[in-house]
Amino acid sequence: MANEESQNPENNRSWANLPVEILRVIRNKLQSSTLIRFRAVCKRWSQTGNEKRRISNLPWPIVNTCKRRLTEKLPRFIMKHEFYDPHEGKTHQTYFEIPESSSYLAYNSDLQYNSRVLASKKGWVLVEEESPVSRIINLYNPFVNDVIPLPGTFCHEVDAANFSGSPTSPDCVFFMSFHCNRGRTHIGTYRFADEDWIWSTYAVPVLGREDDVDKVVIKSMVYNEGEAMLYFVFQDGTLGSFDFLEKKWNIFWGTEFDHPIESVHLVEAKGEILLATCIVNQEEDNRTRRGIKYDCHWNVYWFDRSCWSWVSQWLEGWTLFVSDASFLLPTSEVGEDLDGCVCYFFRNMYWRIYSLRDEWYILPESLGWNAVEGSVIEESSKAEVGRKYLWIEPPYTES
């Protein structure tokens, strides 16, 4: 029997001849340091190890632009979405022609049209379309080129927006906020069963801060499904909540920070509320002699309900993707190299990775991935306005 087994070629198959699919599964579970030994096994393993690593759960960078396209009779405005697969190094583009009913300026080529992505979830993006006349809110799926129009026109710019889940669900709730008077904030909610948006107003105390009116403007919001509660944050880190069923507001004063903050981003994860804050340091770059050098320093906190304050969080075992649409994902789903890291867009131009543990940056190229540079996502032209990067989940299919 032993002789039969030794003579069976199936039992003597070399490790070097493992199927490529199995090699890729092994490779995707290895950290960068272990990949060096993986590539050293043989030429075939080396070729597999040098391939771009594919992890399906890694969010994709997407940029939204609006460009004017002239036809024989009338100008048309095109919503363009470019989404980038960092593993394959490929940029995909989709176009959607804005209906005349949505664009009040389709008949006047001198007017400007702008669009701004407000939020993203389940492969859908919530977009504010702006003209000199008014604003409307629409929902787009750039992967299937589908649109869901939301009701109403608005005269104020949206400060923040979000939605509770998949827009294909009848239970999906949409939220948005804006301010129009000093210290007065408005939150609107909409469900598909409603005829229009339902608004609630709160007079936020400015507390004598004459020069800090912007601090009472909502900058980011998330929905906690377990509590049926909307959480939001002001520029200075003050947290608030809004019960849209009871129309009740609550502001957790005393959660401010003792350092300046450039941007704040709320994230909801398994019922917990997290806050990512960015501090931008400016200094003269003596090495390159190119003037000012900008460095972003990120901090992450979770809201401790026992003391109603923010507590520093290191994100061990987690990775945070920050933009107007932010995601917190287990490191096991996106790659161990991103453990405890914040992935963000610097100055709305470049994809960068910041390690909370090392308090320094990791280049995406060092992980075998491509960064989002101007050469990857094509440069904007004069006909394009309102470019905005954010993270979006990869092509999403309803189960």
pTM for this predicted structure: 0.75
CB atoms within 10 A of CB 35: 17
Residue type, 9: P
Tell me: pLDDT of 350 over 80.
no
Give me the mean pLDDT over the 207-234 stretch: 80
**Do both 144 and 28 map to the same domain?**
no
Looking at residue 384, what is its pLDDT?
38
What is the rounded distance in angstroms from the CA atom of residue 374 to the CA atom of residue 346?
Answer: 12
Looking at residue 166, what is its pLDDT?
86
Residue 59 tokens, joined: 């969010």
Asked if 230 and 223 count as a contact pair (C-beta separation under 8 A), the reply is: yes
Cα 166 to chain centroid, rounded: 16
What is the rounded distance in angstroms from the CA atom of residue 278 to the CA atom of residue 383?
Answer: 31
Looking at residue 62, what is its pLDDT?
80
Tell me: pLDDT of 253 over 60.
yes
248 located within any domain: yes
339 located within any domain: yes
Tell me: pLDDT of 33 over 80.
no
Tell me: pLDDT of 388 over 50.
yes
End-to-end CA distance of the chain: 49
What is the rounded distance in angstroms from the CA atom of residue 61 to the CA atom of residue 392?
Answer: 6
Give the tens place of pLDDT for each residue, 301-333: 999 988 888 998 889 999 999 988 898 999 888
**Do both 368 and 226 map to the same domain?**
yes
Give me the mean pLDDT over the 36-48 stretch: 72
For tokens 């107003």, name the residue.
201
Per the structure, the count of domains in the chain is 2
**Do both 40 and 181 map to the same domain?**
no
Average pLDDT, the chain: 74
**Do both 85 and 27 map to the same domain?**
no
398 located within any domain: no
**Do both 170 and 213 map to the same domain?**
yes
Nearest-Å Rg of the Cα atoms of the chain is 24
**Do both 335 and 318 map to the same domain?**
yes
**Do both 227 and 95 map to the same domain?**
yes
Tell me: pLDDT of 199 over 90.
yes
- Crossing angle of the two packed helices 32-39 and 20-28, in degrees rounded to 10: 150
CB atoms within 10 A of CB 394: 14
Q: Residue 142: which CATH number? A: 2.120.10
42 located within any domain: yes
Give me the mean pLDDT over the 271-290 stretch: 70
**Do both 14 and 78 map to the same domain?**
no
399 located within any domain: no
Asked if 172 and 159 count as a contact pair (C-beta separation under 8 A), the reply is: no
Secondary structure of the chain in the HEC alphabet? CHHHHHHCHHHHCCHHHCCHHHHHHHHHCCCHHHHHHHHCCCHHHHHHHCCCCCCCCCCEEEEEEEEEEECCCCEEEEEEEEEEECCCCEEEEEEEECCCCCCCCCCCCCCCCEEEEEEEECCEEEEEEECCCCEEEEEEECCCCEEEECCCCECCCCCEEEECCCCCCCCCEEEEEEEEECCEEEEEEEECCCCCCEEEEEECCCCCCCCCHHHHCEEEEEEECCCCEEEEEECCCCEEEEECCCCEEEEECCCCCCCCCCEEEEEEECCEEEEEEEEEEEEECCCCCCCEEEEEEEEEEEEECCCCEEEECCCCCEEEECCCCCEEEEHHHHCHHHCCEEEEEECCCEEEEEECCCCEEECHHHHCCCCCCCCCCCCCCCCEEEEEEEEECCCCCCC
**Do both 352 and 273 map to the same domain?**
yes
**Do both 35 and 180 map to the same domain?**
no
**Do both 295 and 332 map to the same domain?**
yes
For tokens 């906020």, name the residue.
177
Give the tens place of pLDDT for each residue, 186-196: 999 999 999 99
Range of the domain at 14: 1-51
Looking at residue 243, what is its pLDDT?
94
146-149 sheet: strands from edge to edge: 114-121, 124-130, 135-141, 146-149
91 class by beta-carbon count within 10 Å (0-12 exposed, 13-18 middle, 19+ buried)? middle
**Do both 25 and 89 map to the same domain?**
no
256 located within any domain: yes
